Amino acid sequence: FNRGYFALAYEKKFLTLTLLAFFSIMSFHTVVGMRDAIVYSIENGASIVPFVRTYITLPTTFLVGAFYLSLQKRFGTTLTYSVVNWGLGSYFILYTLILIPNYSDWTISAEYAQTLRSAYPHFQHIINLIAHWPSAVFHVCAEVWSVYIFIILFWQVANEATTKEEAEKYYPVIIFLMSFGTAMAAYPIHYMSKAMNPGLALLSIIVPISLTLSSIVFYINRKWALDQQVVPLDHAPKEESVSLISRIRRALSQGISERVLYVSLSVMIFNLMMSLFDSCFWTRVSESASGQNEVLAFYSQYTFYKGCASLVAGMVNIYLINRMGWYFVLRITPIVSGLAINTMLFSYFPNNPIQLPETLTLMNSTYQITHLITWVFAIGLLGSYACKFAFFDPAKEIMIKEMSSEDRRVAKVFADGFSGRAGKITGGVLQSLLLSFTAAQSVLEIAPLIFVVSIAASFIYMLAIYRLRPRQDEALDPAHAVG
């Protein structure tokens, strides 16, 4: 960072947006931590997550997206922010104060659910989802709420409040400081893990933060006038609505360059692999945890280390991308993520030749090997996300910036719009189909099958990155250098 970055500390707009980013990412990780703790504390709860994400969360996201676009066009960003914030967040209050105290009245009995699972083993996870529908809906609302508050609405507010010059100056620092917000989110999660009622603890955190977020957005609008473009629907000009699908069709009809194809493929494969990695890892954590509080305690530590890893990776990236070039940095993520996920999945192969003792004695202290191995896998998972955030994304943006204007436009549609969603959807569909066909109770029971998929995905990922190497006719300055 040069002196110009430190001068930002005296700019009120930058400080306000940084505060909004800090509370947004803190609320994101706090809600996600509670979301996972609720579902993973259910017996075989981790195995219903692929079904929830693929068949409930995905269509819900599109419905909320359509509502968001309509609301934003008619009433502007400020009101839309509060409606989405409190509309989805209200379920957290309903779940904690009404559904949880009367859970048995709202759901089928555990005995009846077990009878159905025994009678229809290939549909046991769907039955488990229905039996715990309040928790499944919490998972959906938490995921959609966190995505809109942290990713979509935050950047909507930031883009409307800043000029192009301000954005170029503010955004790199704000993105870097988000890692600090991730690390700090560990503390409210730790607070929930120690509470007698984690749900009430969540409300005591999220309700004040939600009020703060809406107040900051209101202040930004009053101070810097967000570009709301409020138009009554009956007087709105008849403009062509261009959906993501329409943009994809238009891009396909015009042809896709090789570079756009491979950068989109690399984004899709990463999201596919991380979808598989997430499910297997958190299934392992849930199987060793005794309840919500223990899952939250682990998630608190994990979130803190994830934020620290992103901070360190971000600082390392500043050095590497200037000295070694974007292509060297681009290759780090597939190596780290591929090794991490495939090592974990290989450990679940039957008759694995690697046999470890149950305990390890070191300096008169005894450690459970299972717990240590879980943390080794956790380091691999958070390291993969840190590499994606700090290495792959900036290098990808540099590469896209060097494309022609038409390729840049198409790359944004495919790489940032379609490929990320397609990777997550593919991962969820694969897991749900494998669980249904094999009638496995846990994702870890089909780890050898997932390993085969992951190895193939890793190979495709590396091939896509190789095909993105700088061409011979490109100048080999630090931004183009081959590491």
CATH number of the structural domain spanning residue 33: 1.20.1250
Q: Which two tokens stand for residue 337?
A: 């993520």
d(CA 327, CA 334): 12
Is residue 192 situated within a structural domain? yes
- Asked whether residue 205 falls in the same domain as residue 265, the answer is no
Residue 399 lies in a domain: yes
Give, in order, the Cα–Cα distances in Å from 223 to each of 81, 155, 218, 326.
17, 17, 9, 38
Work out how many domains the chain is built from and give that number: 2
Q: Which two tokens stand for residue 62?
A: 């599109």
Helix (H) or strand (E) holding 368: strand 365-368
pTM (whole model) above 0.85: no
Note down the domain range covering 476.
Answer: 257-291+305-350+358-483
State the Cα–Cα distance between residues 458 and 341, nearest whole angstrom. Answer: 10
- 378 and 276 within one domain: yes
Closest by CA to 451, choosing from 430, 437, 436, 432, is: 430
Q: What are phi and psi of 39, to 5 degrees?
A: -75, -40
Instruction: Tell me whether residue 246 is in a domain.
Output: no
Question: pLDDT tens per residue, the chain (483 residues)?
Answer: 455 555 565 678 888 998 998 999 889 899 999 998 998 888 888 888 889 888 888 888 878 888 887 888 888 888 888 898 898 889 999 999 999 999 888 999 989 989 998 899 899 999 999 999 999 999 999 988 888 887 778 878 887 888 877 777 777 778 777 888 888 999 999 999 999 999 999 999 999 999 999 999 999 988 887 755 444 444 444 444 445 455 545 554 555 677 778 888 888 899 899 988 988 898 888 888 888 899 999 999 999 998 888 888 878 877 777 778 778 888 888 999 999 999 888 888 776 666 555 666 666 666 667 888 888 899 999 889 888 877 887 777 777 767 776 666 666 666 665 677 788 888 888 999 999 999 888 888 898 999 999 999 999 999 988 888 876 554 444 444 444
φ/ψ of residue 359, rounded to 5: -130, 160
Gyration radius (Cα) of the chain, Å: 23
Q: What is the DSSP string of 158-181?
A: HHHHS-HHHHHHHHHHHHHHHHHH
Note the pLDDT of residue 480. Answer: 45
Kindly state whether residue 70 falls inside one of the protein's structural domains: yes
- Other Cβ atoms closer than 10 A to 247: 17
Per residue in 386-414, pLDDT (tens digit) is 888 778 877 777 777 677 766 666 666 66
Last residue of a domain, one of 226, 247, 272: 226
